[in-house]
Every structure is written in structure tokens, then in C-alpha cells.
Amino acid sequence: MHPILFQRERLFLYLGAWMVIAGILAGLTVKSGTLNWGEAVLLTIPMCLVYAFICLTSFYLCRAFSLRTTGYARLFLIYIVASLLSSALWIGATRGWSFILGQSVGFPELTGQNENVIHIFFLNGILLFLLTVFMHYLMIAVEESRSREKQALEQSVLAREAELRALRAQIHPHFLFNSLNSISALTAADPRSAREMSIRLAEFLRKTLRFGAADRISLGSEIGLVEDYLAIEKTRFARRLVFRKEVPEALQEVLVPPLILQPLVENAINHGIAPLPEGGTIRLSVEQYDRKLAIRVENPVDPDYHPPRKGGVGIDNVSRRVRALHGAEGRLVTGRSGDSFVAEVILPMVTDPETGMERTLQ
């Protein structure tokens, strides 16, 4: 179907332009001295509406003969012939309409005495047809450009989704590897604790499989996963590991990517708590400012401990996931602050997928 006929707004705009053309043609016929304004308007408005639809056929010629694949000489010949035929058809329709008007309201028929009007309509018919050819080529170019942009966007989305799936799939093996190492270390020294840690690990993995399949979960659920993970680690660290959280109740239902905090807490334990003989406290705090959510994980560090130069798998995973999900609107910031190491995730406030409304938090 023709793209102008497919959209009502385009059709009204197109016909409106032809009403302007009808006014110009009416003025030309009056200036020729053969018709008065009343006769010119009765003639030009209906005929311009008819020719408006005749000229729409040029769209199919433009689709059939692309500017990129058809020679200019061939295009010139095609559209000159098409414009002559269209204009001749328009003249035939105009003669018929003037005959009807002559029989009903005494309007003079377009015979030899009104050849000036015929010439005006015929020449302008050729120009108007060629103008619609130009319009259709421009329309086709715009549509092709939009189609290419849409395809590029779809490819970008598919690539981002593939990256996110790969990053999410990376979480479980990495976490499981570290957890099994901890269980292995406890097996000889404290078999009972190793068994308890294995049971808690199984429960935690069941939960992460359920939540990990979702695109978003509530912040409260995500923090619950962190607390389950810390319960596993407390089997190993006992009193050396303390957890404190400051999370406003109003922010508990904000939506966040699943398993976004566990790698940060794991990093805090491995590079903060574990190297310290007395252990320490991991602090989790959440704040809202503007339309952003800031989740901060802070842990003490041993001044003499030097972690590997290359960022850990968990930290790198979180950073890449946040960047893939939110682009420039989201980021992970890490660094030393005195005797503490801080990892802060900045996320935009996410739309509620069920209601389609942004959560308003006070």
C-alpha cells in the first residue's frame, strides 16, 4: 500500500499541499483572462484532487527504478513519458469535468476558445508529476534510512543481550569456584562447618537460579541474596565478619539487576576481610538522589595488603553489566577512601515492568 494512503496524517498533509496548488492554478487561469475566480475555483479544486491521486502512481515507478541501479538517461526517458501520459489523462478528466459543469451550471466547456487553460493545465501537470517523483524518491530514501537505523539498533540490542547473558552465566561458575575452595579448606580443619556451608551453599544456589532468570528484581530481594551469601561466609569467618546495612524502607522495592551486589560483597571479603587477622565490618548503604540510585559497599583494608593489579572477575563483571544495561547512565566506581575500600554502583531509577510507571520514591 502507498505510504501516504497508509497514514491519515500524511494523506491530509498531501491533499492540503494540493489545495495550495489548486489556488495557484486558479490564479493562473484567471490571469489568462478566460475564466473568472468562481469558474476557476470550480475547475481547479476538483481537478487538483483528481490529479493528486494520479500522481501517487509515480511511487511505484520510483520503487521499481532505483536511483542506485538505474541509469540517468533511462530514468529521464521513463519519467518524461510517464509525466506526458499523466498530464494527458488529467486534461481528459478536466474536459469531462468542464462538460459536466457546462451542462449543470452554465460553465463554458473547454474547447478551442479556452486553449490557454489547456496549456496551463498540461504544462503544470508535467511539472507536478515530476515534483511528486522527487517527493517519492525522497520519501523512499528517508524510509530506507530509518530501516537501516532500526536494523542497526536491533543488532545493537541483540549484541547487548548476548553480552548480558554471557556475563550472567559467568557469575555462577566464578562464585561456585570460590565457594568450593572455601569448603575444601574447611573439610580437614572443621568438617562440621564444611557440611553446614555446603547445605547453605545449595540453598543459596537454588535462590540465585530463580532470581537470576529475571531481568530485574527488587532491591530488598537482592539484599536478601547478599545476606544469604554472608551467612555462608560466616561459617568460615565467624566473628571476624560483621555486616551492617543502611537501606531506607522506601527503596526496598526499587528494581535492580539480579546478582549485582554479591560480587562486590565477595570482593570485600576476599580482599578486605580475609587479609585482616581481626576481620572487619562490611557496610552496605543505599541512597537516592535526583533520578539515580547509589548502592555503596565499603570494607576495611590492610594497608600492607596489595591486591592483584588486574581487577577481579566479579568487579569486572558488575562494571560490564551496568555499562551494557544502562550505558552512560549507570557506572561502577571503586577506590580507596582512607583505610577503606569503596565500591559504588550508580543506577538509574528503573520503570516498573508491571505498571509501566516509574516508581516515585520520597
- Using one digit for the tens of pLDDT, what is the confidence trace for 267-323? 899 889 988 989 999 999 999 988 899 999 999 998 876 665 555 567 887 888 888
Pairing of strands 280-289, 255-256: unpaired
Beta bridge partner(s), residue 73: none
Alpha helices in the chain (DSSP H): 3-6, 8-31, 37-55, 58-64, 72-105, 115-189, 191-212, 219-237, 262-268, 313-326
Burial 75-95 (b: 16+ CB within 10 A, else e): beeebeebbeebbeebbebbb
- pLDDT class of 361 with cuts at 50, 70, 90: very low
Q: Residue holding cell 541501479?
A: 69
- Residue 37: what pLDDT? 86
- Residue 306: what pLDDT? 66
Q: Residue holding cell 580475609?
A: 274
Q: Which fold, 190-348?
A: Heat Shock Protein 90 (3.30.565)
- Residue 244: what pLDDT? 95
Percent of the chain with pLDDT over 90: 38
- Residue 171: what pLDDT? 53
C-alpha cell at 230: 554472608
Where along the chain do the CATH 3.30.565.10 domains lie?
190-348
If you average pLDDT over every residue of the chain, what do you get? Answer: 83
